[in-house]
Structure 1
């Protein structure tokens, strides 16, 4: 095909066809008697600016509404997980002499960055420079312009569009942390946990937190992802995260079958530093009440830990109650 015209997310022409408009989403929800869900849908799947048109992601909206027709209480989720490997975000960490930490930190804290971008890239050029990578993220919806009226056509002030994409960035950051963390520190953390050294484990976990990107709005999901990033995939252990056990779903269920020992961890996000001790106790109570250690047949050591996080601090408490192997 020759002499065809192409339009990107930066062009005004046909911008209304890149996704769903506000009016279309409101009608979509109303047709299924789901108008009360507009706030959640907007928080998770809105926020894109294509040309001069504000848009929702049609794939996400369609999937979430489909889920709601089966269960009106269905929580929103990341529908991009099965459509992208997030390799474009990870490419920043692999590029020589490129440290995106400050820019990622600004974006994840709800801020903006100013970058020179272009929509005229070939595939071979996409990973040639940091600015080209930002262009790729803009074209693929990981970031979006703050406004249509920009300082210049090439410089764009950009932000993360919504909660779903913020979750993708967060996961990529945790994955990078997991790949780069000092194995000696992890070994020391595991040694402290298996031997019941609460204070030592708290210090090491806090040190690991300092290696990650800072957030203004820390929340429990972030800390759960952080913990899973530390434990899941480590050799020698069988690890489950949020898998049903007893009467609920513990955050981390780690089993060392060779040495017949098991560790169950429940994490809480504290509102202040002074609340951390009490929140550890609440986590331990949840471990007991939900019988997370039930039916761990054959294990000679079962440890239950309550963990509390406040910003970049961690406190770990061991449940001192004797555990009988069931």
Structure 2
């Protein structure tokens, strides 16, 4: 097995080291022959975007002229036309991966620093009479601390100088174009950053007569109206497009060949369960390269890809989301799919108000996959069936949700133990402890007019506590049984295991107009379980009546009573 290098994103270094590499050089030909002026390709993080951009630089840049050693034996080198093309263009390559600042001023400074580094690398342009005195002064004034207005035109100006020097228009590569925008949303300076990036891209791509062609990569397709409103020469390739559908990520054949090479052929089914599931266009069975290379190196099944990010934005959106979003997440964690509308043009400042925008972001980020898509003939509306991508993502979400209850100092685990053991006193103690510690951390309605929403909130909250029980229990909620729809039923996965009870839970928010106390509310919950005959589904499975436990949860703000 070739040595597996973890995290190496520089193409030249990877090839020279002889480390494990999956040939993606056909991407060069596919992109070049598209003849598109500006191409934007979105893929989830850690999917080889930076490595492919580095590969493009090594192939086209005249800095690498004559470097046949970087491509011999790879698919692109079989074509004589492309052998002649290698190393013949001036190339500007910039990555925004490091622009992760909490303040606008710092983000702009970081971008200015990146541009100034590119200028430093091209100081040979100052020699001789190529540039006028004014141009030379402008050149040396491109610094990290320059005015942000000056950096807007800096890439276009540099492209002009390079075209004059080489007699050939320039290729521009921008990697992780959307990182500053995502950080701006999290940091609360979205609108200001959008205006700055829009001007930068307009100058670099739209009004740049020195540009031959360009390519950008990122995770999301940020709305055209936000930053690309002036670019009518832009071809956008998202995860639902067929173009370049195998250029990023590993295909199943590539993964299985690597497992054979590593002597891990017997692990193919497990690797597929953990890391398969990404879909680009019509091509299914795409694997994320980060997890595969880590597995080849460490030979352990872990959440490698999911753990490369704090997942803070995803957690924030779900945690603060409506009960509908929490219910959808419950379905996804149960291995089911959700049907939603998707708008691939993501507007970050709409994420707090537009639920479809949240699912669009999760799809673009790789947490969800498209199972199918249907178009309504009368309206043209597209509806997508989405599910969690694979086991790695499911485990990540389970960790994420469990982490929300970490501040309870173990009370959540104690509560679940009490629930399974039928210890009502302990259940009440630990649930109230959890409520005091965490309910202010979530969105809880307290007004009488919000009767339904709090009930759904508490429902979702308790479901979150049950995440760790999915190995022993099938957890269902809001399903029909008997003459109504129960809130939660926990069914033992192994029905023959007599130690595991079946559990029915009904939630009620205290209604002071109808009930004198929380105890009365608990009684209402039990009455509903009996009258609606929620046990029917459980009894039909052959579980004895005496193994079924009923719990009524009564809530009033942060106060809880379980009976």
- Tell me which interval the TM-score lies in, with the shorter structure as reference length: 0.5 to 0.7
Partner of 2:259: 29
Residue 168 of structure 1, CA deviation: 1.5
1:121 & 1:312 partners in 2: Cα distance? 45
Structure 1 pair 274/93, CA: closer, same or farther in 2 (3 Å)? same
> Is the 8 Å Cα contact of residues 21 and 56 (structure 1) preserved in structure 2?
yes
Residue 218 of structure 1, CA deviation: 1.6
Question: Is 2:313 aligned against 1:83?
Answer: no
Aligned with 2:370 (options 145, 155, 160): 145
Larger gyration radius, structure 1 or structure 2? 2
2:313 & 2:351 partners in 1: Cα distance? 9
Residue 88 of structure 1, CA deviation: 3.4
Structure 1 pair 122/101, CA: closer, same or farther in 2 (3 Å)? closer
Aligned with 2:403 (options 175, 189, 192): 175
Question: Is 2:437 aligned against 1:212?
Answer: no
1:99-138 superposed matches below 5 A: 99-138=324-363
Aligned with 1:7 (options 215, 224, 237): 237
2:473 & 2:396 partners in 1: Cα distance? 13
2:325 & 2:281 partners in 1: Cα distance? 26
> Is the 8 Å Cα contact of residues 315 and 400 (structure 2) preserved in structure 1?
yes
Structure 1 pair 83/205, CA: closer, same or farther in 2 (3 Å)? farther
> Is the 8 Å Cα contact of residues 288 and 305 (structure 2) preserved in structure 1?
no
Counterpart secondary structure, 1:24: helix
Counterpart secondary structure, 1:6: strand
Residue 63 of structure 1, CA deviation: 0.9
Residue 119 of structure 1, CA deviation: 1.4
> Is the 8 Å Cα contact of residues 340 and 384 (structure 2) preserved in structure 1?
yes
Residue 91 of structure 1, CA deviation: 2.5
Structure 1 pair 26/132, CA: closer, same or farther in 2 (3 Å)? same
Counterpart secondary structure, 1:158: strand
Structure 2 residue ranges without an equivalent (≥5): 1-204, 207-232, 435-458, 475-491, 502-546, 551-563
Partner of 1:156: 384
2:396 & 2:298 partners in 1: Cα distance? 20
Aligned with 1:16 (options 236, 242, 246): 246
Residue 49 of structure 1, CA deviation: 1.3
Structure 1 pair 166/16, CA: closer, same or farther in 2 (3 Å)? same
2:259 & 2:345 partners in 1: Cα distance? 36
Structure 1 pair 217/97, CA: closer, same or farther in 2 (3 Å)? closer
Residue 14 of structure 1, CA deviation: 1.0
1:44 & 1:145 partners in 2: Cα distance? 17
Residue 144 of structure 1, CA deviation: 0.6
Residue 123 of structure 1, CA deviation: 3.7
> Is the 8 Å Cα contact of residues 77 and 164 (structure 1) preserved in structure 2?
yes
1:205-284 superposed matches below 5 A: 211-213=462-464, 218-219=470-471, 271=494, 274-275=498-499
Residue 97 of structure 1, CA deviation: 4.3
Structure 1 pair 165/201, CA: closer, same or farther in 2 (3 Å)? farther
1:124-163 deviations in whole A, cap 9, x for unaligned?
344442111110000000101003x533673211000110
1:143 & 1:312 partners in 2: Cα distance? 35
Aligned with 1:61 (options 285, 292, 302): 292
> Is the 8 Å Cα contact of residues 472 and 494 (structure 2) preserved in structure 1?
no
Q: Choose between structure 1 and 2: higher helix proportion.
A: 2
TM-score by length of 1: 0.56
Counterpart secondary structure, 1:212: helix
Partner of 2:317: 92
Q: CA RMSD in A?
A: 4.1
Structure 1 pair 205/174, CA: closer, same or farther in 2 (3 Å)? farther
> Quick check: 46-55 or 121-130, which moved more?
121-130
1:105 & 1:97 partners in 2: Cα distance? 13
Partner of 1:320: none
